[in-house]
Amino acid sequence: MTQSPFSKTAPVLALIFGMVLMTSTAVRAEVGPDRVIEQYKGWTLTCQSSAAADGAAAAQLESCTMEQSVRDSKSGATVMKIAIAAGRAAPEPKGTIIGPFGVDLAQGVDLSVDGAPAGKLGYRTCVQGGCIADLSLDEVRLAAFRGGETLVVTIRPADNPEKDIALTFPLAGFGDALARLQSAVQ
């Protein structure tokens, strides 16, 4: 059987750029022998596994990513995505925000949870998929995300840096998705 040229790159792209956001709660979908997708309200958890060497034992989950996207209401295009990943090789969750081009890179990204400031992030780089800011996940921020209802990510356009553009991410399901992410790769 001939493998598609995308068979090895598709799982990596899925982890980085994500899946289509579903809105059901705590749904598990077996996608194949090497990938599992679970839904925790607005958060999609995608895990990659590696088959056991002898074929007898069950596959182990090697890496997982939980993510949520904000989409343009007219075009359906992804405007911004938050992805949090962990794996057996690096079990501490690492967060990334992937935003649109045309932002004022110098001003960075402002975060707030339920109206309370939750930090400011600098952009690391811009790549073909958008501009990237690293989302540090210390215990204070994680506690705010677990206990909060809404995360607002504020960006500013490069051509009008005084204008705030606020993008809203519901936090329902965040705690459950994070707990599953952490337990899956241990």
DSSP 137-176: --HHHHHHHHH-SEEEEEE-BTT-TTS-EEEEEE-TTHHH
Domains of the chain and any CATH numbers? 10-184 (2.60.40.1880)
Query: pLDDT of 25-46, one tens digit each?
Result: 456 665 666 888 999 999 999 9
Average pLDDT estimate for 48-66: 70
Going by pLDDT thresholds of 50, 70 and 90, the confidence category of residue 23 is very low
**SS3 for 117?**
strand
Written as six digits, the tokens of 167 are 């993008």
DSSP H or E run through 11 = helix 10-17
CB 15 within 8 A of CB 84: no
b/e string for 2-18 if b means 16 or more Cβ within 10 A? Answer: eeeeeeeeebeebbbbb
Output the pLDDT for position 1: 42
Q: Cα–Cα distance between 62 and 122 in angstroms, integer?
A: 29
Query: pLDDT of 151-178, one tens digit each?
Result: 999 999 999 999 999 999 999 999 999 9
Closest by CA to 49, choosing from 31, 38, 36, 37, is 36
Average pLDDT estimate for 55-73: 82
Output the pLDDT for position 12: 32
Return the half-sphere exposure (C-beta side, CA atoms, 13 A cut-off) of residue 143.
Answer: 3
Query: pLDDT of 123-155, one tens digit each?
Result: 999 999 999 999 999 999 999 999 999 999 999
Output the pLDDT for position 11: 35
